Amino acid sequence: MLFNSLNFLLYFFVFYLIYYFSPFRIRKLLLLFFGIYFYSQWSIGGTILLFSSILFNYTIGILIDKIPANKKRPLFIFGITANVLYLAIFKYFLFVWGVLSDLRIEFGESPLLWKPNILLPIGISFYTFHNISYLIEVYDKKIPVCRNFFTFVLYDMFFPLLLLGPIERPGNLIPQIESERFISKDNIWNGLSLFCFGVFIKSSIADPLSRYVGIQVGSFLSLEPGILWIVAPTIAFQVYADFFGYSLCAMGLAEMLGFELMNNFKRPFFSSNPSEFWSKWHISLSTWLRDYVYIKLGGNRHGFVRENINLMFVWFLTGIWHGAGYGFIIWGFYLGICLVLYRILKHLGLTKLQNKVFTGIGILFTFYTFSIGLLLFRINSPKESLLILENLRTFPSWNQIPFMLLLIILPLFLFDLWQEWKQTDRPTFFVTTKPYLFSVILVLSFFWFSLVSPFAKEDFFYFQF
């Protein structure tokens, strides 16, 4: 069920009425059952695999806490390795199989005709990272082990973040599950407004942009000269509206249930350099990789060269985390190189000059660097990256620019501009403080939704990851 589907809205409405008037212990049970039902709508087989992962990580966590100190490390390494292999088998095995087939063709042999049929559980990258962070935190004694199996199951089956995150830290989510949560009137209205705006930007911005992009880049072989200069930023706004929309829905649903999830985006398109951008885009993933990979590799503690080698390795992992394909690997290296080049300029003292002109240029350059990188998601072979470069050698003409796209993007841009001006840490609305102004905005949003929203529902972009 999609968050923006009628089925989900009806089921959630009934669930929420029962949940709101139920005592604390019953609420936990309701959350668990609804999470199981919600995930099983995608795949029963995937649900069984998720429960297997939950049981395994719960057991490893308990054993790490119980066994003697000299035996903890081998068990911890086994637990992390098993999670990585679990993700690799279900997400990357078919890609590796395809690479082997391509190599056979390159050496003049016949391709591998047989292909194994392997289920790819939705959200596997998110909940596997969820469990890895739990094992690391328990092993490092940053959090106590979760002994209540029911609580641990709910930690992985909490439905607002089950499919696409954010990758919530166990030290934040588990205590919220274990403690009684009071739901105030502000929780309900703020949560509902976040959810509605998330659905709005998904349906009214991401979906129309997705159809335009699909028409333009059905094949890189038949592109109009220079059209990628238009398509690239369109993809950027499509992906942002799609994933930011989902994150707002997740935050809103969680707040209505009495929980607080981390903010996954903080107006990234106002960033003036790549380092700032990645501190504001998909924050739960970037901080996860920083804390559990980059810092564990030594971070910046072993000199500037080693620091950037660590950074490139992290970006290689970022690429393959996003998907099994040539484009994702190239994308990871591309953005890693962009970040390393910026850090070299900073190291040489060439980024100290700060004024409005340079900041504006930096924002535009950072945005286009990211946008062009997203084109790599769509390539099926390394050779297609050359077609992208060839198309970008030409600039588009004015009559190629569909100005309707600017109107579609406008509500999201204005919202981010307002939040940037207010310098908010979390997306906020003024439901209770300025109800009349909020009502006007709500009516305008409804008319905008009616004008540009498609009736057909598109899957969330990040479901493929």
Which residues are the active-site residues?
322
Q: What's 22's DSSP letter?
A: S
Sequential DSSP letters for 312-356: HHHHHHHHHHH-SSHHHHHHHHHHHHHHHHHHHHHHTTTT----H
Q: Which amino acid is at 384?
A: E
**How many Cβ atoms from other residues are within 10 Å of residue 20's Cβ?**
13
Compute CA distances 328 → 148, 205, 380, 430, whole Å. Answer: 38, 24, 10, 39
**How many Cβ atoms from other residues are within 10 Å of residue 405's Cβ?**
18
φ, ψ of residue 455 to 5 degrees: the values are -80, -30
Q: How far is CA 9 from the centre of its chain?
A: 22
Q: Which residue has the tokens 């004008």?
A: 451
For the record, the structure tokens of 379 come out as: 């390539």
CA neighbours closer than 13 Å in the CB half-sphere of residue 46: 23
CA-CA distance, 285 to 282, in Å (whole number)? Answer: 6
Find the DSSP H helices in 393-465: 404-422, 435-452
CA-CA distance, 225 to 399, in Å (whole number)? Answer: 13
What percentage of the chain's residues is helix, strand, coil (to nearest 5)? 70, 0, 30
CA-CA distance, 305 to 298, in Å (whole number)? Answer: 12
Handedness of CA 374, 360, 314, 248 (dihedral sign): negative
Residue 201 and residue 285 in contact, taking contact as beta carbons nearer than 8 Å: no
Closest CA to 130 of 90, 83, 70: 83
Q: Which amino acid is at 30?
A: L
Asked if residue 74 has a cis previous peptide bond (ω within 30° of 0), the answer is no
Residue 187 and residue 258 in contact, taking contact as beta carbons nearer than 8 Å: yes
Q: Give CA angle at 372 (249, 215), nearest 5°.
A: 75
